[in-house]
Chain A
Amino acid sequence: MEIEYKILNLYKTKQFDECLNLCAIALQDKSDRMIEFIRMRAMTIQAKVVGNGYEEVEYYPQQDDLLSTAIAKTPRPGTSFQRDNKTTRDLRTAQRRTTATVRSRAGTNASCARTSRTSLHTASQMSRAATALVAGSSLTAGTPLSLRFMAKDDKLFLPAAKTLFEYVYYCEGDIRKAMEVAFQSQKADDTMDWWWNFSLARCYYALGMYRNTEDCLRQALKLNKHISIYLRLVAMYVGLNQPISALEVCKQGLSVFHEYSPLLLEQARIHDQMGNDALAVKEYRMVALEDPSNMEAIANIAMYNFYNDQPEIALRYYRRLLATNPAGPEIYNNLGLCCLYCNQWDLTLPCFRQALYFSSSPEIRSNIWFNLAHVALSTGDVTLAYRCLQVSLATDSKNEASQHALQALDARLRARRTVVK
């Protein structure tokens, strides 16, 4: 079998590592445009997977600049994620402890809900894709250099432009150069192509130029109602802290794609972040109906039920998650808490033990120990609770909930001692 057919087979069946190896061999003794492009594509796709290039929704922290983007500095109440948090530190201690408990659990739950995304969604920067690829062994000496040899008046420039753009953008991580490719091909092509607008928006977004991003995306949307454009627009508005606009985009998108789960999910996330729990859970339920394997939706519904004083129902959801997903510390932690509130004492501690067994990051460990302290308190074992909190703080000294709880517990113990005396 000729090597080009092998390469094509591997490329079409998405075995990119083997494909790149064969490409390297094939390109050693002759230059073949098709193989070169296949190689470029394979590298791009790998880089895209590593760098979350397929994830349209990435919430970057908002950059502070004196940029020309029109961001309202003082948003009207209810239009911003940054809700005023006016809890002062001089609350009564007992009160403080309970709130701390609740908040911490919310934290662990949320991290659980996000795990389905985090696997693909670890703080990604545009350039990371390129570095990740360099770190991998897939890059053999010398990257394909077709870009240098291709004049922009070549008749193959237009068909190749999109491949080249993605290669430059993801593999080389050179946004400026990618934009150059985009501009040139837009000039060469007289028809309007939404994809170029969309890609330029990605570039502008990476450069932090939100106003241009918005323009480009809006133009692209006029040309083609593609789901990615809606998702990007939503992500951009969320990044700009304009949830109302984001919701508006969601609504528009949903009028085109009825009951479409990625859009619903975005909408639910926004509502969740804005504190509209009831609305959010309604949307999560819709997502779960559309896509029953969606972990995030189920986890959020479970969390809602848990805080709605229905731990039994939450327990069922969590058990379903456990059955369908790889086990993790968050699921066991939440299961443990549900067991505690359902009075299934025999299962509570084993669940937490399992959670500790799976936990790897100190934050999660610390939270689990905090919850264990809660368990100890509910059995009346103050000393054990005290120890648990100390372990929690030892694993992660920044755990505020544990700090407050320990302080409160300490005050209470001291008060008790003085009474005894």
Chain B
Amino acid sequence: MSIFKFKQWWSNDTSQNVNQNDGIQNANCLKVDKFNAYPDTDCILVGEESLLKIFKPNIEDPSHVLLETELSEVVLQIDTGKFTVRAEDRQILVLHPHGYEIFHLKRTEGHMEAGDQNILSPIIKHSFTRKADSLTCGPFGNIKTRDLICVLSLDGSLSFFDQDAFLFMCIFTDVIIPSPVCYIASSDCFVICKSTWVLEIYSYQQLREFSEISIRQNKKNVPQWVYNSGEEITRVQVIQTSNNFSSIVALGERHLFCFQDNGLMKYMIKFDFVAMCFYAYLIGWYYEPGARLLVMVTSDDSKLFIYEGTTLIWSCSLLTSAISISRCFLKSLPGGLVTLSSKGIVSVGYIGTEPDLNLNTPPIVNEVSDPEQVQDELEVVEESLRIILNSEDAVNQRSVVEQILNVKADVGKPIQNLFQEFTSEKDEALHLLMCPVVVVLTCEDPKFIQNVQVTYVCASPFSCSEPTICLDSINGTEIVENQVFLTSDADITETRVKILITVTDNTGKVVVLSKKVLLPLSVYCTPVESYAENHLKLRIETNQACLDLSKIFTDFSQEELNKFGNNLNFVYRSSKKCVTLKSDGDTYSIECEDFTEIIAILDNFVIRLLDHYNRMAVKSFRFKLKYDKEFVKHLTHRFLKSVEIHAKERIKLKDLEDELNVLQKQFTIIQKKLLVQYGSLPPGDCEPLEFLMKDTHNRVIIVVHEIIKCKETVCRAGSAMTAIGNLIVLLLKQCPKDDFKVTLTEQMMCLSSLYEHYQEWEEAVTQALTYVLNNVFKNSEKDKEKLAPVTEQGILSHINLKRFLKQLRLVLDKMFSEIIDDDTEKDLEKVIRVQEFVEVI
């Protein structure tokens, strides 16, 4: 965050043990103070495990270690002060888990060049039983002659000592993890941090009384003042900032609080980093009015921030992360910074002002390049891009793939799946008859092809076991088998299965090949004997004599069909409806009850017929579908009817879905309210809400069941619509007068878009329909206006649906009328010719 760096001046890095254990270094074990033995410079005291070290840092003289002594116990904290009466020098207080020791640093002049000798002479040693955590010392109770000692033990109790005498002890019950304790000299108070994350300030007097009260009676001791910091306080420092007042600086997890010792909050800083430690210091003297209180804070990513109030006045990066920081005044470095790292390394340095401007900027990647060369390269790339993107190439590509990859698709004989026979009762074994569809892929050059994906597309009532199969590599010949079966009792709309083969070649280009496979009739039909009178008739005139029907429908054995002679009755396995096929002379005819049933048989029949003549190598075979005006009228009517049914069902479904939406939201709200009720104090009355919740749940279940049912109905209506639509398209195609219009109509109706689940067919068709009607069929202006969908309402709204149907009727009428007119005109012409002929004679 800053361009500045901490400049290291001295460090004990080299003299430090290499293999250090974690957690040895205590953050309280750094103290900087001045002793009479060395009056001109600060000494740095560091405790590490049971070692006590005293440094006098300098860079000229190699003897910067004054003393290094191994104490009997672990050092928890080092402090300095005058702990005995009439002490002249600052004494060193070392806290151990079970006691404390007070030393005096002595210096004796050395003989010859050996230098000075430093001795720590013990003065007082005192032990106690409770395990200590930290201490604070000072002239408690305003005793001027010496400093008293207050030790915080691990269980949170405070013990007070005077020299080597135990004074009293206070026990706090609300401390789990010991938090810092600090003494405020100016008001003779203690800052005590609790596990309730509250700062409490007690006067020394109070604590002394408290210790006696707590033994006798359970009276509550009210602190002088408290501050609820709301987070664990990790460090506290008290610093005198004026003649009468001290400032208390406390560091929490993310905040730094600064108070006056009377409880007035001075400021609060929120950090966006993890603060490790801080050190507050004054610039100037506290008895001067212009003294500035500065706080330096180190972060876990080893940055140093210096704040005055809430304003950041300096920041720089430390070289190592520091767990403790302090200031020192050395002889050759007045105003240095002492840091202690978690590995026990002490460094002294100063804040440098030499900015390193490109501290974290990696060198820019900027190799010099010749513009002409770059231009040439660019042109080459452009050229190759142009070649690749050329559209003619794509066709070549396709043929190449077709050459390399040989695709064969075929159907097998339907197999009764006995394995699952008893699983479902309702759809009595519709799906049990499975028809295997096999794709054989043969690849001559496997390296040319990266991967192949085979996708089966089945129209609505049909479904297949595994719609998409991916092959990562083709090695020679691959055989993909898939089962196709019926899933519902809807009308059959398409008798062919489309197989899409998506090939990715080695350059990453994608080519799609497609194949269509005719499903055998026996998958969805069975021949029956019963004969009912059918009023719908569609004749197929051919220019060849009629064949024996059993020769055409090779799915069934000849004997099976021969029984029925020239009249074949088929019953759909799905819808249980009957279709009759007759042959008479050169005309076949299909008879049935409803238009929905024609297409499947017709389609199948026509394909087989053509196939048959192809095999017989009869090239002159032609056929023609014959129907009258009445037929067309009924057909159109029936189609529009089916569209209407489909739309109505969709509206119903939408209503149900809306209802479910509302119910779901209601359910969530009730749940939330209930949660609040459960959680509130005291728990509220939940019964009405529970009743509501259960009721809503039931309703949700009912609606969902209805939706499932409705969806099936919609799908069935869609199938019926598609079946009739396909028939219409087929009839239109028979008369290739205006290819363009026929294709347009087919595309417009986009019947293939209805698959699997219901789609928004009406919405899709409306757009195209309006366009086709206005631009191709040249609708009159008046009609245009009259039939344009109302924009502010949905397509499924009553008025729009009406207009939609009208438009559809218009288009169909026009298409059919062109065909039929054509026929009648020809007839008329013939008649006229004949008359003319007669006249000539």
List residues of A whose CB falls within 8 A of some B CB: 1-2, 4-15, 18-19, 22, 33-34, 37-38, 41, 45, 48-49, 54, 65-68, 120, 155-156, 158-163, 176, 179-180, 183, 186-187, 193-195, 198, 207-209, 212, 223-224, 226-228, 231, 257, 259-262, 289-293, 295, 322-327, 350, 353-354, 357, 383-384
Known: A120-B272, A212-B676. A158 touches B358 (CB 8 A): no
* Contacts A/B (CB < 8 Å), 21 sampled: A2-B74, A5-B97, A7-B23, A13-B323, A15-B23, A37-B177, A38-B177, A65-B668, A158-B174, A159-B194, A160-B195, A194-B228, A224-B230, A261-B310, A291-B311, A323-B358, A323-B359, A323-B361, A350-B364, A350-B366, A353-B365
Asked if B560 CB lies within 8 Å of chain A CBs, one says no
Query: Of all chain B residues, which has the CB nearest A184?
Result: B681
A212: which B residues are within 8 A, CB to CB? 676
* Cα–Cα distance between A37 and B195 once the two chains are bound (Å): 10
Query: Which A residues lie within 8 Å of B232 (CB)?
Result: 41
A5-B76, A176-B679 as given contacts; A292 in contact with B669, CB under 8 Å: no
CB nearest to B24 among chain A residues: A1
- Which residues of chain B have C-beta atoms less than 8 A from A224's C-beta? 228, 230
Across-interface contacts of A68 in B (CB, < 8 A): 669
Whether A15 and B681, one on each chain, are in contact in the complex, defined by CB atoms closer than 8 angstroms, is no
Contact assessment for A353 and B27 in the assembled complex, using a CB-CB cutoff below 8 Å: no
Collect the chain B residues with CB atoms within 8 Å of residue A350's CB.
364-366
Residue positions of B touching A, CB distance < 8 A: 1-3, 21-27, 49-50, 74, 76, 97, 131, 133, 154, 173-178, 194-197, 228, 230, 232, 234, 253-255, 267-268, 270, 272, 274, 276, 300, 310-312, 315, 323, 342, 355, 357-362, 364-366, 378, 382, 665-666, 668-669, 672, 675-676, 679, 681
- B307 nearest in chain A by CB position: A291
B196 contact from A66, A158, A179, Cβ within 8 A: A158
Query: What are the residues of chain B within 8 A of A48 when measuring CB–CB?
Result: 253
Asked if A10 and B22 make an inter-chain contact with CB atoms under 8 angstroms apart, the answer reads yes
Distance from B329 Cβ to chain A, minimum over Cβ atoms (Å): 26
Contact partner of A325 (CB less than 8 A), chosen from B76, B355, B360, is: B360
- The reply to whether B276 and A41 form a contact with Cβ atoms under 8 Å apart is no
Instruction: Tell whether, in the assembled complex, residue B196 and residue A49 are in contact, meaning their CB atoms are under 8 Å apart.
Output: no
Report Cα–Cα, A11/B276, bound state, in Å. Answer: 11
In the complex the two chains form, what is the Cα distance from A93 to B519 in whole Å?
53
Of A9, A19, A155, A161, the contact of B26 (CB 8 Å cutoff):
A9
Q: Which residues of A contact B234 (CB under 8 A)?
A: 12
When distances are taken between beta carbons in the complex, the residues of chain A under 8 Å from B276 are 13-14
In the complex, the chain B residue whose C-beta lies closest to that of A261 is: B310
Given contacts A324-B3, A325-B1, A350-B366, contact A6 B23 (CB under 8 A): yes
Chain A residue nearest in CB terms to B362: A327
Residues of B within 8 A of A193 (CB): 228
Chain B contact surface mostly: loop
In the complex, what distance in Å separates the CA atom of A37 from the CA atom of B342? 23
Tell which of B230, B378, B675 touches A198, judged by Cβ atoms closer than 8 Å: B230
Q: Give chain B nearest CB distance to A187 CB in angstroms.
A: 6
Task: Determine whether the beta carbon of A15 is less than 8 Å from that of B268.
Answer: no
Q: In the bound complex, do residue B254 and residue A354 qualify as a contact, i.e. CB atoms below 8 Å apart?
A: no
Residues of A within 8 A of B195 (CB): 37, 159-160, 162-163
* Bound form: Cα–Cα A38–B176 in Å: 9
Is the CB–CB distance between A15 and B342 below 8 Å?
yes
In the complex, chain A residues whose CB is within 8 Å of the CB of B27: 9, 12-13
Query: CB-CB < 8 A to A11: which residues of B?
Result: 177
A227 touches B255 (CB 8 A): yes
> With A5-B97, A34-B154, A41-B177 as given contacts, are A13 and B676 in contact (CB-CB < 8 Å)?
no
For residue B229, give the distance in angstroms from its CB to the closest CB of chain A.
Answer: 9
4 further contact pairs, Cβ within 8 A, besides A198-B230, A257-B310, A290-B310: A9-B23, A33-B176, A183-B681, A323-B355
Q: Are A18 and B174 in contact (CB under 8 A)?
A: no
Name which residue of chain A comes closest to B315, CB basis. Answer: A293
A194 to B76, CA, bound (A): 35
Q: Which of B154, B268, B668, B675 is within 8 Å of A176, CB to CB?
A: B675
Instruction: Tell me if A9 and B25 are in contact (CB < 8 A).
Output: yes
Complexed CA–CA distance, A383 and B173 (Å): 79
Assess whether A163 is in contact with B176, with CB atoms less than 8 Å apart. yes
Give complex CA distance A14, B274 in Å: 9
Inter-chain contact A257/B23, CB cutoff 8 Å: no
Given A160-B176, A209-B676, A227-B255, A67 and B669 contact (CB-CB distance below 8 Å): yes
Once the chains bind, are B175 and A159 in contact (CB under 8 Å)? Answer: yes
A208 to B154 alpha-carbon distance, docked (Å): 41
Please name the 7 residue pairs, one residue from A and one from B, whose CB atoms are nearest each other, closest first: A6-B23, A159-B174, A293-B1, A159-B195, A13-B323, A195-B230, A18-B22
Question: Nearest CB to that of A223 among chain B residues?
Answer: B228
Look across to chain A and name the residue whose beta carbon is closest to the beta carbon of B680: A183
List the B side residues contacting A223 at CB < 8 Å.
228
Q: Which residues of A contact B274 (CB under 8 A)?
A: 14, 49
**Interchain CA distance A384-B381 in the complex, whole Å:** 12
Residues of chain A within 8 A of B300, CB atoms compared = 14
- Collect the chain A residues with CB atoms within 8 Å of residue B154's CB: 4, 34
CA distance A384 to B364 in the complex (A): 23
Tell me, in angstroms, the Cα distance from A266 to B270 when the chains sit together: 14
Question: Which chain A positions have C-beta within 8 A of B49?
Answer: 1
Q: CA–CA, A418 to B672, complex, Å?
A: 65
Chain B residues closer than 8 Å to A158, beta-carbon distance: 174, 196
Question: Chain B: which residue is nearest A36 at the CB level?
Answer: B176
Shortest Cβ distance from residue A113 to the other chain B in the assembled complex, whole angstroms? 15
Q: How far is the CA of A354 from the CA of B254 in the complex (A)?
A: 36
Which residue of chain A is the closest to B363 with respect to CB atoms?
A354
How far is B267's CA from A290's CA once the two chains are assembled, in angstroms? 14
Residues of B within 8 A of A163 (CB): 176, 195
Q: Is the CB of B253 within 8 A of A45?
A: yes
Q: Which residues of A contact B681 (CB under 8 A)?
A: 183, 186-187
Nearest CB on B from A196, distance (A): 10
Q: Is there contact, CB below 8 Å, between B196 and A228?
A: no
**Could you tell me the distance between the alpha carbons of A48 and B234 in the complex, rounded to whole angstroms?**
17
Is B270 within 8 A of A227, CB to CB? yes
Nearest CB of B to A126, in Å: 15
Chain A contacts for B22, CB-based, 8 A: 6, 10, 15, 18, 22
Residue from the list B74, B131, B194, B669 in contact with A1, Cβ < 8 A: B74
Residues from chain B with Cβ under 8 Å of A176 in the complex: 675, 679
CB distance from A288 to the nearest CB of B (A): 10
Bound complex: CA of A369 vs CA of B359, how far in Å? 28
From B196, which residue of chain A is reached at the shortest CB distance? A159
- Residues of chain A with a CB closer than 8 A to B665's CB: 65-66
Contacts of A13 in B (CB 8 A): 25, 27, 276, 323, 342
Give every chain A residue within 8 A of B272 (Cβ-Cβ): 54, 120
Given contact pairs A158-B174, A159-B174, A291-B312, A207 touches B672 in the complex (Cβ within 8 A): yes
* Distance, CA A187 to CA B683, complexed state (A): 13
Cα distance A79–B522 when bound, in Å?
69
Q: Are B679 and A34 in contact (CB under 8 A)?
A: no
What is the distance, in angstroms, from A218's C-beta to the closest C-beta of chain B?
A: 16
Interfacial chain A residues near B358, Cβ < 8 Å:
323
CB-CB under 8 A from B173, the residues of chain A are 155-156, 159
Kindly provide the distance from the CB of A300 to the nearest chain B CB, expressed in whole angstroms: 17
Q: Which residue of B lies closest to A331 (CB)?
A: B361
Task: List, in ascending order, chain A residues with CB within 8 A of B194's CB.
Answer: 159
Minimum Cβ distance to chain B for residue A146 (Å): 10
A62 to chain B, nearest CB (A): 16
